[in-house]
Amino acid sequence: MSMLIKNGEIVTGDSRFFADIFVENETITAIGIDLPIPADCEVIDASGKFVFPGFIDPHVHIYLPFMSTFAKDTHETASIAGLIGGTTSYIEMCCPSRLDDAWEGYQLWKSKADGNSASDYSFHMAVTKFGPETANQLRKIVNDGTASFKIFLSYKNFFGVEDGEMYETLRLAKELGVIVTAHCENAELVSRLQSELIGSGKTGPEWHEASRPESVEAEGTHRFATFLANTGATGYVVHLSCEPALKMATDAKANGTKLFVESVIPHFLLDKTLAEQKGVEGMKHVMSPPLRDARNHERLWNGLSAGQIDTVATDHCPFDLSQKLLGADSFTQIPNGIPGIEDRVNLLYSRGVCTGKIDLHQFVNVASTNAAKIFGLFPKKGTIAVGSDADLVIYDRDYRGKISVKTQYTNNDYNAFEGTEIYGRPWIVTVRGKIQVHNGSFVGEKGLGRFIPRKPQYF
């Protein structure tokens, strides 16, 4: 069945206008004023509402064995939660550890998602070691349609790579034309600081940030940028959290390094005092890089407005309170992560657009279009245009509500943004023309999502 969305105000990364949108065979086939209504066409009246391109979360963890446990979401629950919040596509971090085989890990992650996601998805492939077989395995993975790598300059002896391995990964990435995303910290410094703190009896969650301070993230960002400059590869800093790290990234960009910057929604709104609470209240706010001093919020918002930060993602990684309590005796054992896939878009709109920190076009760019362009999804995803996938979010700007664990779809027993007021939410969300969400409820097809193969573009 075809679909016609009438009377909505279309907002993309570079345009804003009133028009109708006609959808057929999963694709936008016409945009115009007073489009004719064919027989057997579903008509949606979007009067008084924005129509955005489907939002893209370029950094999520769904299947994740980590710190003696597993993240709580499945591809079904996470994708539905994302759709409730307007996210119609996501890119998941495929993260086998140093002990695992890369190709087998990649196949495992793909099998977890296959047939289980309600929205479209793609992957970043983590390179957690670089041995004799790694290059050939990565070539196969790129040929399969995964055109981005992920490296960790943290989590020593588990996910983390040494400098030599980073160099080899970047050299191969340059040859293959893929982008490399990086968690930028200094693994050695984190390890030493953790040992010193634990050794002096400082074991609670309030010491997590002190074990990986801003200077450690800034150093990792600078080191990653230096390796990019000397290999010619293209990079993408994930979840950048603080002013010193942003300065390193912007300086590198100014010097010609091919580098993009991502921040995640918790770092714009939450601060380290939340993680400094005693017991599980502090533990549930532990993520890496940590929540920072609140002075960083203004710098990140300004960086977003100025285009220094390219995307806002989530680093979605849900662990229940009982899992967080695995770190009751040591903050080093707290599973790292704060869920966010369901709330990112509404928080960014409510705390960014509605407060004047960013405009509507920048909102669409940082939450959708830029990610589509950076990771090879554009123009099928990330815009509203003839020929694009009919991934659409009809947004009710008049909705008022509060975020609550009691109403969330995310498979998690707390919400770090509990009680936060929101000033708008998705009313209807479509994936390739099929209505998946209506008025805050999932009404669609659970297994509708498809793997999105991507081609290298950074030669």
For 208-249, give the secondary structure using H, E and C: HHHHCCHHHHHHHHHHHHHHHHHHCCEEEECCCCCHHHHHHH
Domain ranges within the chain, ordered by starting residue: 55-374
- The pLDDT > 90 percentage for the chain reads 97
Stated length of the chain: 459
Mean pLDDT, the chain, whole residue set: 97
Q: How many CB atoms lie within 10 A of CB 29?
A: 17
Kind and range of the H or E run holding 298:
helix 295-305
pLDDT at 158: 87
User: Phi-psi bin for 192: left (phi > 0), alpha (psi -120 to 50), beta?
Assistant: alpha
Given a contact cutoff of 8 angstroms between Cβ atoms, the answer to whether 50 and 399 are in contact is: no
DSSP letter at 381 equals S
pLDDT at 12: 98
Given a contact cutoff of 8 angstroms between Cβ atoms, the answer to whether 147 and 455 are in contact is: yes
Give counts: helices (H), strands (E), the chain: 15, 21
pLDDT classification of 163: cutoffs 50, 70, 90: very high
pLDDT at 157: 85
pLDDT classification of 66: cutoffs 50, 70, 90: confident
- Interatomic CA distance for residues 358 and 303, integer angstroms: 10
Question: What would the two tokens of residue 25 be?
Answer: 């065979």
The verdict on pTM exceeding 0.85 is yes
DSSP letter at 5 equals E
Assign a CATH topology to domain 55-374.
TIM Barrel (3.20.20)
Average pLDDT over residues 14-32: 98
pLDDT classification of 67: cutoffs 50, 70, 90: confident
**Nearest of 267, 274, 209, 207 to residue 238 by alpha carbon:** 267
Say if residue 337's pLDDT is above 90.
yes
DSSP letter at 287 equals -
From residue 193, give the alpha-carbon distance in Å to each of 126, 268, 275, 289.
25, 26, 18, 14
Given a contact cutoff of 8 angstroms between Cβ atoms, the answer to whether 189 and 219 are in contact is: yes
- The 3-state DSSP class for residue 263 equals strand
- Interatomic CA distance for residues 372 and 379, integer angstroms: 7
Average pLDDT over residues 161-171: 97
b/e for 384-399, b at 16 or more Cβ within 10 A? beeebbbbbbbbbeeb
**Nearest of 211, 213, 238 to residue 224 by alpha carbon:** 238
Say if residue 136's pLDDT is above 90.
yes
pLDDT at 1: 81
Say if residue 196's pLDDT is above 90.
yes
- The pLDDT > 70 percentage for the chain reads 100
